[in-house]
């Protein structure tokens, strides 16, 4: 395809990766993010362990890899950011690029807020003892803070001391200075990595993309030696095959693969546009996709070993408290009744004095119940995991390592988000000439920081969940669908295959073509429709943390008020609005220009050189004058 | 009659001999969990240990009521079980029949809690005085919260990095501009080039249009 090289900031040529490793690490870092660590293990757990791998791998092969290959290929061939790429393919599809950019911007806002929270926990991990291990005492030192007593110290630290969360989404509260400061730190760190574009990203990514693997391995080794680790692993991987009959499993597998690979953000297109033209992007795509899924699996092993350890500790403490109560009541000698002989003692005592045993109101201790207490997302990292870390000897080191790992994972994904926002702007020459790139990047970071301040309010966590559910889901599915339609049906699969032959040396084989033409668009459509169907079935609700709730510390599940639902719809709809709008605008422009051309019958014919004719007359006169003279 | 009177006279002192136990108002129950606290280093509970307990408690009472010389005999213990738990009451040193009120005993135990614990190598949890809750230790608050220190270190490094990178790119750009400006004037071999700055063209004298119309 004829690409008119826009001259813009390209009086210097387009920046390039220093080497292939940087490019691969950046793509892997973008794809491997927080979701690999805290969403995949959760899905694996609730959807029958090993059985979940089947829909997951099917989704990877038929949806994830084809879309990934498509994005990397068009970016590499057209060598432009997302807006310009789609403009080149067809001006009617320019809106797809704008939509990608909008979604990247919105997702970057809340993603970096999560990183701000990770930073907050990281700063506090240096404290001895860890602040989330004990409840704070009230002033006269006679007891603990009641909110903390009713729930757990870990919950209290997260909801009260970190978020200072308001009881519901309508109460906004005020800006919390400590969160603002952490958010500023997070944006500064992102800025310093982004300051010179891929020159600095390429260096930063050597650390941020590899460090998580190192930490995961350390955790793996440590976690497997903890008591109860095998329980957790067995629980995770025991397949429950009957769960595959539930369509929700397939839907979640497809959405997980899709979001996990960070498709439709425009970041992958931008990264591959800095590649040399003849680069084997097929191998890159397969490599990135498989490494992403392998990382998810690899991360779930230490996570679940540690969760198994936590469940076992909780189970043991439950039994210990029961043992203490029984020992005190029946004056049994100390340590005569232990966890090992608990059952035989219980049988004996219930036989001997059932009413007294009943009076004690012993807790029901079941390992299964503790294992079932799963969590995903921020709940996993900031509540469940931090609780597990307290029990591990040397808890500060583990906490520091864990939060640095989370920060690296999130930072490398932020690079892709920001790249999806900046590269189109730079390519469209919207940046004034006098503004150096550093200043422009700084302004974008400052703007994002200011808008993200809403997440530092009292109700910030509720808003973040809203953004996460509505911005980071439906618009991406729509954008991806239009991407694949644009390339396969508008650009043409034949032309695309020739481009790929030019880049990699051979045409794509049957598998890729079938996926692009039929399977992937169909899957996207089905997933999109099913997703919407599931969403509209019930009024959306959210769990609120309200100490006044009578069943506190259980979360109070409340429905969203109507104005919030309107905002949710806006968040899902406005980013994809450019797609029809730009198409409409281009159509109108085309119709107007055709109409204008039709009204003149001597069109702008480039071959009539009117200037030439005028000149000819002048020379003849002069010549006539000279002739007379001579 | 006299016998009846004698009986009635003897009754009150008999009634007022202090009894300790669960039903008594002024006594406290104590529970020790030695094996839980010390594991394999646990010592056996025997009458000598009980003597130490009574002595420690007498010491605690002396600390609080400094005027009264409490003795080991003033600490009365009963209802000992193999849990290792028992009840105790404290009698006044002046009069064997009066009991020290519960509140005073509690104050004494609270003040000397640490000494009592360390006499038995136990802690607040493993040497339990039922009804006397341990005072919770105030968490140590350093002058600057630790997290601000770490934050300061990280932010300092990041800001220094940003300034360094901005300066270096600014210096690079200036150097590049300077080199570009010099290159126009001197290409290195004494040949100077004039650009077409601001002029529409140069009249080329070697081109003449004399013989535009050739005479056949």
pLDDT of amino acid A409? 94
pLDDT of amino acid A24? 93
pLDDT of amino acid A610? 54
Query: What is the 3-state composition of chain A as percent helix, strand, coil, each rounded to the nearest 5?
Result: 70, 0, 25
**Integer Cα distance of A450 and A183 in angstroms:** 10
Q: Do A436 and B31 touch (CB under 8 A)?
A: no
User: Residue A558's Cα: distance from chain center in Å?
Assistant: 26
Residue B202 or A5, more confident = B202
Q: What are phi and psi of A484, to 5 degrees?
A: -70, -35
**Integer Cα distance of A622 and A503 in angstroms:** 60
Cβ atoms of residues A424 and A81 within 8 Å: yes
pLDDT of amino acid A629? 46
Which residues, in sequence order, are bridge partners of residue B99? B91
pLDDT at B79 over 50: yes
A620 pLDDT tier (thresholds 50, 70, 90): low
**Integer Cα distance of A375 and A387 in angstroms:** 12
Contacts of A332 in chain B (CB under 8 A): 82-83
pLDDT of amino acid A625? 53
Q: Among A232-246, A384-398, A475-489, whose mean pLDDT is lowest?
A: A232-246
pLDDT of amino acid A595? 87
Is the minimum CB–CB distance between B168 and chain A shorter than 8 Å? no
Query: Residue A352 burial by CB count (10 A; 0-12/13-18/19+): exposed, middle or buried?
Result: exposed
What tens digit of pLDDT does each residue of B3-56 get?
766 666 555 544 455 567 676 677 888 888 888 888 888 888 888 999 999 999
Contacts of B136 in chain A (CB under 8 A): 137, 141-144
Cβ atoms of residues A53 and A248 within 8 Å: no
pLDDT of amino acid B26? 74
Neighbour count for residue B201 (Cβ, 10 Å): 6
- Sign (positive or negative) of CA dihedral A258, A264, A267, A273: positive
Q: What are phi and psi of A589, to 5 degrees?
A: -60, -45
pLDDT at A219 over 50: yes
pLDDT of amino acid B158? 94
pLDDT of amino acid A293? 94
A104 pLDDT tier (thresholds 50, 70, 90): very high
Which residues, in sequence order, are bridge partners of residue B89? B76
| Residue of chain A whose alpha carbon sits nearest to that of B212 | A623
Q: How near does any CA of chain B get to the CA of A158, in Å?
A: 15
Q: How near does any CA of chain B get to the CA of A383, in Å?
A: 19
**Integer Cα distance of A253 and A60 in angstroms:** 9
A286 closest CA partner among A18, A17, A512, A55: A512
Nearest neighbour of B162 by CB, restricted to A120, A188, A331:
A188
Give alpha helix (H) positions in B21-145. Answer: 34-38, 47-64, 102-111, 113-119
A495 closest CA partner among A519, A513, A474: A513
**Integer Cα distance of A113 and A115 in angstroms:** 5
pLDDT of amino acid A71? 94
The 3-state secondary structure of A20-60 reads: HHHHHHHHHHHHCCHHHHHCHHHHHHHCCHHHHHHHHHHHH
| Residue of chain A whose alpha carbon sits nearest to that of B33 | A334
Q: Which of residues 157-176 of A touch B (CB under 8 A)?
A: none
pLDDT at A112 over 60: yes
Q: Do B36 and A334 touch (CB under 8 A)?
A: yes
Cβ atoms of residues A229 and A305 within 8 Å: yes
Contacts of A124 in chain B (CB under 8 A): 146-147
pLDDT at B185 over 50: yes
Tokens of A185: 């730190």
Is the minimum CB–CB distance between B33 and chain A shorter than 8 Å? yes
Task: Tell me which residue has tokens 């019958």.
Answer: A601
A75 pLDDT tier (thresholds 50, 70, 90): very high
Q: Which residues of A202-227 are buried (b: 16+ CB within 10 A; e: fewer)?
A: bebbeebbebbbebbebbbebbeebe
**Integer Cα distance of A262 and A482 in angstroms:** 16
**Integer Cα distance of A168 and A564 in angstroms:** 12
How far the first Cα of chain A sits from its last, in Å, is: 60
A248 closest CA partner among A449, A110, A47: A47
**Integer Cα distance of A278 and A286 in angstroms:** 17
Residue A49 to residues A46, A240, A420, A573: CA-CA distances in angstroms?
Answer: 7, 7, 35, 35
What tens digit of pLDDT does each residue of A499-546 get?
999 999 999 999 999 999 999 999 999 999 998 898 888 888 898 988
Residue A166 to residues A121, A375, A381, A542, B209: CA-CA distances in angstroms?
Answer: 20, 21, 21, 13, 89
Which residues, in sequence order, are bridge partners of residue A542? A558
Residue of A181, A325, A334, A615 to mutate when probing chain B, most B C-beta within 10 A: A334
pLDDT of amino acid A9? 43
pLDDT of amino acid A411? 94
Query: What is the 3-state composition of chain B as percent helix, strand, coil, each rounded to the nearest 5?
Result: 50, 10, 40
pLDDT at B187 over 70: no
Neighbour count for residue B162 (Cβ, 10 Å): 17
What tens digit of pLDDT does each residue of B84-133 get?
888 888 888 888 888 888 888 888 888 888 899 898 888 888 888 888 87
Is the minimum CB–CB distance between A195 and chain B shorter than 8 Å? yes
pLDDT of amino acid B4? 67
Report the phi/psi class of residue B190: left, alpha or beta, with left for phi > 0 and alpha for psi in -120 to 50: left
**Integer Cα distance of A66 and A133 in angstroms:** 46
pLDDT of amino acid A211? 94
**C-alpha triplet A411, A412, A415: angle, nearest 5°:** 90
Tokens of A545: 């943390």
Overall average pLDDT of the A588-612 stretch: 69
Cβ atoms of residues A67 and A488 within 8 Å: no
Residue A180 or B21, more confident = A180
Cβ atoms of residues A63 and A254 within 8 Å: yes
Task: Tell me which residue has tokens 């940003």.
Answer: B162
Overall average pLDDT of the A181-187 stretch: 95
Overall average pLDDT of the A458-463 stretch: 92
Tokens of A522: 């169909």
Rounded percentage of chain B residues whose pLDDT exceeds 70: 71
**Integer Cα distance of A232 and A393 in angstroms:** 19
Is the minimum CB–CB distance between B150 and chain A shorter than 8 Å? yes
A61 pLDDT tier (thresholds 50, 70, 90): very high
Rounded percentage of chain A residues whose pLDDT exceeds 90: 47
Rounded percentage of chain B residues whose pLDDT exceeds 90: 12
Q: What are phi and psi of B206, to 5 degrees?
A: -75, -10
pLDDT of amino acid B133? 77
Q: Does A292 appear as a known binding residue?
A: yes
A355 pLDDT tier (thresholds 50, 70, 90): confident
What tens digit of pLDDT does each residue of A16-47 get?
898 999 999 999 999 999 989 888 988 888 88
pLDDT at B215 over 90: no
Average pLDDT, chain A: 87
Q: Do B136 and A127 touch (CB under 8 A)?
A: no
**Integer Cα distance of B167 and A327 in angstroms:** 71
Q: Is the ipTM of this complex over 0.85?
A: no
A575 closest CA partner among A208, A127, A104: A104
pLDDT of amino acid B169? 87
Tell me the three state secondary structure of residue A557: strand
Q: Do A192 and B139 touch (CB under 8 A)?
A: no
Neighbour count for residue A97 (Cβ, 10 Å): 30
pLDDT of amino acid A354? 84
Task: Tell me which residue has tokens 């930072």.
Answer: A411
Residue A373 or A440, more confident = A440
Q: Among A487-496, B53-62, B129-138, B172-181, whose mean pLDDT is lowest?
A: B129-138
A630 pLDDT tier (thresholds 50, 70, 90): very low
Is the minimum CB–CB distance between B136 and chain A shorter than 8 Å? yes
pLDDT of amino acid A616? 47
**Integer Cα distance of B26 and B138 in angstroms:** 30
């Amino acid at each position: 395809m004829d690409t008119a090289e826009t001259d813009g900031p390209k009086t210097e040529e387009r920046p390039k990766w220093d080497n292939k490793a940087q490019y691969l690490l950046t793509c892997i870092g973008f794809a491997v993010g927080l979701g690999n660590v805290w969403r995949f293990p959760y899905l694996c757990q609730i959807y029958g362990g090993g059985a979940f791998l089947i829909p997951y791998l099917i989704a990877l092969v038929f949806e994830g890899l084809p879309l990934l290959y498509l994005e990397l290929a068009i970016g590499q061939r057209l060598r432009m950011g997302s807006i310009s790429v789609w403009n080149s393919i067809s001006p009617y599809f320019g809106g797809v690029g704008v939509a990608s950019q909008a979604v990247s911007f919105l997702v970057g806002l809340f993603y970096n807020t999560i990183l701000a929270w990770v930073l907050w926990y990281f700063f506090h991990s240096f404290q001895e003892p860890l602040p989330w291990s004990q409840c704070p005492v009230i002033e006269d030192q006679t007891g603990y803070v009641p909110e903390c007593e009713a729930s757990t110290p870990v919950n209290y630290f997260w909801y009260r001391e970190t978020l200072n969360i308001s009881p519901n989404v309508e109460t906004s509260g005020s800006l919390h200075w400590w969160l603002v400061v952490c958010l500023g730190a997070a944006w500064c760190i992102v800025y310093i990595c982004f300051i010179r574009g891929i020159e600095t990203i390429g260096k930063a990514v050597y650390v941020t993309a590899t460090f998580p693997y190192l930490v995961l391995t350390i955790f793996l080794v440590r976690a497997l030696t903890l008591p109860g680790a095998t329980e957790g692993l067995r629980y995770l991987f025991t397949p429950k095959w009957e769960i595959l009959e539930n369509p929700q499993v397939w839907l979640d597998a497809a959405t997980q693969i899709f979001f996990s690979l960070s498709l439709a953000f425009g970041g992958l297109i931008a990264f591959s546009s800095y590649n040399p033209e003849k680069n084997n992007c097929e191998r890159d795509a397969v490599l990135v996709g498989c490494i992403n899924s392998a990382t998810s699996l690899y991360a779930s092993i230490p996570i679940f070993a540690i969760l198994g350890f936590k469940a076992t500790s909780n189970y043991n403490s439950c039994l210990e408290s029961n043992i203490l109560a029984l020992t005190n009541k029946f004056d049994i000698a100390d340590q005569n009744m232990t966890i090992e002989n608990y059952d035989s003692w219980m049988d004996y005592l219930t036989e001997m004095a059932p009413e007294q045993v009943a009076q004690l109101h012993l807790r029901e201790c079941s390992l299964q119940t503790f294992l079932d207490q799963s969590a995903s997302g921020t709940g996993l990292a900031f509540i469940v995991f931090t609780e597990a870390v307290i029990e591990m000897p040397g808890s500060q080191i583990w906490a520091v390592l864990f939060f640095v790992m989370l920060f690296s994972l999130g930072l490398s994904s932020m690079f892709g988000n920001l790249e999806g926002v900046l590269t189109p702007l730079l390519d469209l020459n919207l940046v004034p000439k006098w503004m150096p790139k550093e200043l422009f990047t700084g302004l974008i970071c400052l703007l994002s920081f200011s808008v993200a301040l809403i997440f530092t309010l009292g109700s910030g966590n509720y808003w973040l969940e809203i953004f996460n559910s509505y911005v980071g889901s439906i618009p991406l599915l729509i954008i991806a669908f239009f991407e694949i339609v644009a390339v396969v049906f508008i650009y043409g699969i034949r032309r695309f295959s020739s481009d790929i032959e030019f880049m990699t040396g051979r045409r794509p084989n049957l598998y890729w073509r079938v996926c692009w033409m039929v399977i992937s668009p169909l899957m996207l459509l089905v997933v999109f429709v099913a997703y919407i169907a599931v969403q509209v079935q019930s009024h959306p609700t959210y769990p609120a943390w309200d100490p006044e709730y009578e069943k506190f510390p259980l979360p109070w599940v409340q429905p969203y008020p109507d104005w919030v639902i309107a905002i949710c719809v806006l968040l899902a709809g406005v980013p994809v609005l450019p797609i029809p709008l730009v198409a409409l605008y281009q159509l109108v422009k085309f119709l107007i220009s055709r109409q204008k051309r039709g009204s003149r019958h001597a069109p702008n014919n480039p071959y009539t050189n009117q200037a030439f004719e005028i000149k000819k007359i002048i020379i003849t006169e002069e010549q006539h004058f000279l002739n007379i003279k001579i | 009659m006299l016998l009846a009177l004698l009986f009635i006279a003897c009754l009150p002192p008999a009634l007022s001999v202090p009894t300790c136990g669960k039903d008594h108002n002024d006594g406290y129950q104590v529970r020790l969990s030695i094996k839980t606290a010390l594991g394999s280093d646990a010592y056996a509970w025997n009458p000598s240990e009980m003597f130490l307990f009574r002595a420690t408690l007498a010491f605690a009472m002396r600390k609080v009521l400094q005027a009264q010389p409490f003795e080991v005999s003033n600490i009365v213990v009963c209802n000992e079980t193999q849990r290792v738990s028992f009840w105790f009451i404290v009698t006044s040193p002046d009069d064997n029949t009066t009991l020290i009120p519960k509140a005073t005993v509690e104050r004494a135990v609270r003040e000397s809690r640490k000494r009592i614990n360390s006499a038995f190598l136990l802690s607040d949890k493993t040497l339990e005085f039922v009804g006397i809750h341990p005072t919770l230790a105030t968490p140590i608050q350093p002058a600057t919260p630790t997290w601000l220190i770490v934050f300061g270190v990280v932010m300092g490094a990041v800001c220094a990095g940003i300034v360094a990178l901005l300066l270096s790119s600014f210096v690079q750009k200036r150097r590049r501009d300077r080199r570009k400006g010099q290159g126009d004037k001197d290409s290195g071999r004494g040949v100077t080039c004039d650009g077409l700055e601001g002029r529409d063209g140069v009249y080329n004298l070697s081109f003449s249009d004399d013989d535009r119309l050739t005479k056949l």
